[in-house]
Structure 1
Amino acid sequence: MENRINNITYDDMKVFFINKVKELKSWPYNGKNVVIAPLPEHVTVNPDKPSMFCFTEINDDYMEFRRSAFWLVSGTVVMAFMISMMSIAYLAIAVCFFYDGSFESTLFLCFFGSFFGLYVLPMAARIAFFIPHDLPVRLNRKTQKVYIASLILHGNIFRLRPELIFQEMDWKYIEGWVLHRSVGKGTPYYGLHLVENKSGDINRLQQACLYRTGAPWSTSEMEYQINNIMSTWSYCQHFMNYLPVPDETEKDKNFVFLSNNWLFKWPEAMDKASRSSG
């Protein structure tokens, strides 16, 4: 018998996620070898010890935590930062070593400077310095809604256009999924993804990443990060169902290179609704 979840087959769900992998570009860069598995619909795993992987703002109405917008410890951000710095260095080197006042060197410098100064540097600098990379998820148990901020990169490596997107999901229609893909030796991807499935129609699903593993330095760290998937899912279920959860506000806030949190702001209407007491 064909396995189905709310009238959607596992194969259809796998294709759905593969297409999202290609679309989002912020986690495994293609959709090959993706393995998916549904998480329990009720609190059944470690019911007495749910935990969050990071500092969590929490009160009687809602909780909020932040997670990196990119896979592999913000690899895209690091790359953009390095490109922006290298662009400046290349321009300085070109001026010092190639410019001698001749027409040829002037023409070369103008071409070189135009390419880096007008194309490469602005694109890299915008990604590195002018978009937030540590984005929040807010769960409101009074209204039973989940609010998620995510980042999509449009285009390709030579022309990336970042876009912040905001999603609102109904908790009662949310399914938890684990995605796994072996991208390279020592750098597998594991992610906890939420899927809002209201109608059982594959074309009307929306999904968002709640947590993803990074690039650990050891096997034990990788195991710890993988275990965070189930404990985070359990923590969210506990909170949304008014069950006790440990206080995670004492945890250290995650360090994210160039997080640019000061640039992030919830849309006014969503910020008000997500803080509502119902």
Structure 2
Amino acid sequence: NNWCEDLPENHEPQLVPPQLRWLTERNDIYLEVPRYRIEVMWGGMIFLVVIFTFIIFFLAFYSIAIAHYFFVITAFLTSIVILCLVFFALKTYFIEPRSLPIRLNRKRQKLYVYNYKQPWQPWRKAITRISVYNWADIHGEVHFESTPGIRGYHLYGALCEPGTHQVVERFVLAKEWGEREQLNQIWSYLCMYMQHDDELPPPRNAGTADFWQPRKADAWPEAMERESTSSS
């Protein structure tokens, strides 16, 4: 990745007007902001299901018509692989969380980052992990990612050793394909909220972008849900 700029410290006055693209929840205790995954073609998952299903039916009918032992075995094994891909695509579309939210608790001055990792085997249970950081130790950076699939501007939270600029860990706070300025506005919003500034504008987009999901996919572990949304 390519570093673009360091953003103002989170305790300093923010010079860029604050603006979020999406907002899930904001109250006097915590702020929840979704990190929608721009690297996943959600509609493409359903398209793959249709294509793969057609291939399976084609192989089945062709196997019956040919009735050749070698071809039947090959078609059967191929169908098993394709069925796994179909299952993976359906699971991605209907079950995986599209929003990987962050929560900022300004009473505790903590940042909570929701992480979700799906093993490459589609039948295995995904791993959910909540990372917790002291807000005072987080610094904002903008990078440009040129890797295919995740190409675009990324707002990183850089965790530093307390009182230093020695980076221990970096994690993504937001992504944009082309609007780098939006990331500066998001950082300003997060910082101003944690500074107890309530004169903040509404998000650019009303509602949520994952309204079509059949369930709330980004369910937090009970202990983290309670801690991240309470003042004590």
TM-score range, shorter chain: 0.7 to 0.9
Taking structure 2 as the reference length, what is the TM-score of the superposition? 0.81
CA change 1:160–1:124 in 2 (3 A) is farther
8 Å contact kept, 1:176–1:192: yes
Task: List per-residue Cα deviations over 1:194-250 (Å, max 9, x = no partner).
Answer: 122135596x82332111013xxxxxxx3xx32111111111111101123325279
Matched, 1:177 2:141: yes
Contact 1:176 1:194 in 2 (8 A): yes
C-alpha contact 1:134 1:259 (8 A) present in aligned 2: no
Runs of 5+ in structure 2 lacking a partner? none
1:189 aligns with 2:152: yes
Moved over 6 A (4+): 158-161
- Paired residues of 2:19 and 2:203 also in contact (CA < 8 A): no
**Which of 39, 46, 58 is equivalent to 2:26?**
58
2:180 to 217, 222, 226: 226
Matched, 1:268 2:222: yes
Choose the corresponding residue for 2:6, options 12, 16, 38: 38
Q: Which amino acid aligns with 1:268?
A: E
Structure 1 CA distance, aligned partners of 2:165 and 2:200? 37
Partners in 2 of 1:82 and 1:258 — Cα distance?
Answer: 16
Alignment counterpart, residue 195 of structure 2, candidates 241, 256, 261? 241
The 8 Å contact of residues 19 and 204 in structure 2, kept in 1 or not, is answered as: no
Task: Name the structure 2 match of 1:102.
Answer: 67
1:143 aligned to which of 102, 108, 112: 108
Which stretch shifts more, 158-167 or 265-274?
A: 158-167
SS in 2 for 1:266: coil
Q: In 2, distance between residues paired with 1:106 and 1:212?
A: 47
Aligned mates of 1:80, 1:150 — CA distance in 2: 21
**Change over 3 Å in CA distance of 1:273–1:113 after alignment to 2:** same
CA-CA distance at 1:269 after TM superposition: 0.8
Does the CA-based 8 Å contact 1:123-1:160 persist in structure 2? no
For residues 201 and 238 of structure 1, the distance between their equivalents in structure 2, rounded to whole angstroms, comes to: 21
TM-score, normalization: structure 1?
0.69
Higher-RCO chain (CA-CA 8 Å, sequence separation at least 6):
2
In 2, the alpha carbon distance for the partners of 1:167 and 1:208 equals 10
> 1:55, CA displacement in angstroms?
2.7
RMSD, matched Cα: 3.2
Letter paired with 1:115: V
Counterpart amino acid of 1:210? L
Change in Cα spacing, 1:181 to 1:238, as seen in structure 2 (3 Å) is same
Distance (Å, rounded) in 2 between the aligned partners of 1:114 and 1:56: 40
From 88, 94, 97, the equivalent of 1:123 is 88
**Does structure 1 retain, via aligned residues, the 8 Å contact 2:114–2:129?**
yes
SS of the equivalent of 1:210 reads strand
Which residues of structure 1 form unaligned runs of 5+? 1-30, 215-221
- Name the one with the larger helix percent: 1
| Equivalences, count | 227
User: Which residue identity lines up with residue 184 of structure 2 in the other structure?
Assistant: M
Tell me which of 71, 84, 87 is aligned to 2:52. 87
Q: Determine the C-alpha separation between the residues in 1 that align with 2:5 and 2:26.
A: 29
Aligned amino acid, residue 206 of structure 1? E
Contact 1:63 1:138 (C-alpha < 8 Å) held by counterparts: yes
Show CA shifts across 1:110-146 (max 9, x none).
22222222x3223333333321121211111000001
- Partners of 1:106 and 1:182 in 2: CA distance: 44
Distance of 1:196 and 1:261 partners within structure 2: 32
Match of 1:27 in 2: none
Identity %: 20
| Local SS of the residue matching 1:35 | strand
